[in-house]
Structure 1
Amino acid sequence: MTRETEAARRQRLRAMDGQCNGFASRRAARYLSAHYDRILAPSGLRTTQFTILRKLALAGRTSISGLAELIAMDRTTLATNLKPLERDGLLTVQPSAQDRRARMVEITKTGLKTLDRAVPLWQSAQDQFEAAYGVEEAAALRSALRAVLDTDLAPWAE
């Protein structure tokens, strides 16, 4: 490989850092999740676990597929994330009475108590982010990120 070709490759790869939407969103998500994780730590929950419990508290009993759709996560990753919450008694996963192949997820009373303890911590993390980033800017960011979900990219299509 010639020196010019190597230099051109490096330049092209460097340019991607500023253009890659996937990298930019993942980098920001890791940064922001670490902030929320740090603040939520006293509750024993991580950001993803908090979100799962919050969505279950709102949705009630739902299928793993339904929950995966609610939080925009593939079913396999969600199932992995449910295991420690089930082990700790924060939710239950049981076969559906209507379709034994489907698995239903439900938050437990212990899960609701844990969520109730975590909500003020989440609010603190939220308030800190909005103070640093801006309330209007944070609302615009959430709106833009929701719009990403409407792009019909079908990331988990089989």
Structure 2
Amino acid sequence: MAGRKKAAEQAVAPPDYVLGEQIGHLLRKAYQRHTAIFQQTMGEDGLTAVQFAVMVTIHEAGTVALTRISQLTAIDLATLRGIVARLGERDLVVVEHNASDRRQRLASLTKQGEELVKRDLPVAARITELTLVPLDACERIAAIQVLKKLAGE
């Protein structure tokens, strides 16, 4: 602990370090803006952006293992279990053990969950458009490509 404290005391931000120009800070602010737009636009269903992403992933994959949803959404498995449990309490998702591998848990959308996703997909597309409003057409393409590259896709 003493070594870290001493190193922290000695660490000084470089003179050209400007918080408002740091990628992590800008990504966080952009994500906060997107989240606010999502909540205002998608509000009536009471879903978070992450819950909606999980439901869309299940919608696209059909019955799918929680481990695969975790990979596709970049949500750690422990967090995903909580999200899926909350969606299950709302009768949007059902989780069952895989008959051929009891260790594996499979998720699928209920009829209500499927209807919600189908109804809200156009709204989600609108949320993306609203998030990208400050950008012109070329900047939108560039922003998506840069974010995909940063995300390792």
TM-score, normalized by length of structure 2?
Answer: 0.80
Match of 2:50 in 1: 48
RMSD: 2.7
Match of 1:111 in 2: 113
Quick one: distance in 2 between partners of 1:133 and 1:107? 35
Match of 1:143 in 2: 145
Q: Is the contact made by 1:62 and 1:104 (CA closer than 8 Å) also made in structure 2?
A: yes
Quick one: distance in 2 between partners of 1:108 and 1:14? 53
Q: Is the contact made by 2:33 and 2:131 (CA closer than 8 Å) also made in structure 1?
A: no
Deviations 1:81-107 (A, max 9, x none): 112111111111111112111111111
Deviations 1:19-44 (A, max 9, x none): 64333323321221221122111233
Deviations 1:32-68 (A, max 9, x none): 1221122111233221121111111111111111001
59-68 or 122-131: bigger deviation: 122-131
Alignment of 1:51-70 (within 5 A): 51-70=53-72
Deviations 1:125-147 (A, max 9, x none): 22323333233322222221211
Match of 1:101 in 2: 103
Quick one: distance in 2 between partners of 1:36 and 1:133? 18
43-52 or 121-130: bigger deviation: 121-130
Percent identity (aligned): 23
Counterpart check, 1:38 vs 2:40: yes
Q: CA deviation at 1:13?
A: 9.6
Q: Is the contact made by 1:43 and 1:117 (CA closer than 8 Å) also made in structure 2?
A: no
3-state SS, counterpart of residue 131 of structure 1: coil
Q: Mark the runs of 5 or more structure 2 residues left unpaired by the alignment.
A: 1-8
Q: Aligned pairs, how many?
A: 146
Match of 2:3 in 1: none
Q: Mark the runs of 5 or more structure 1 residues left unpaired by the alignment.
A: 1-5, 152-158
3-state SS, counterpart of residue 100 of structure 2: coil
Q: Is the contact made by 1:40 and 1:121 (CA closer than 8 Å) also made in structure 2?
A: yes
Q: CA deviation at 1:9?
A: 5.8
- Given the superposition, is the C-alpha separation of residues 63 and 15 from structure 1 closer, same or farther in structure 2, using an over 3 Å criterion? same
Quick one: distance in 2 between partners of 1:96 and 1:13? 57
3-state SS, counterpart of residue 75 of structure 2: coil
TM-score, normalized by length of structure 1?
Answer: 0.77
Match of 1:155 in 2: none
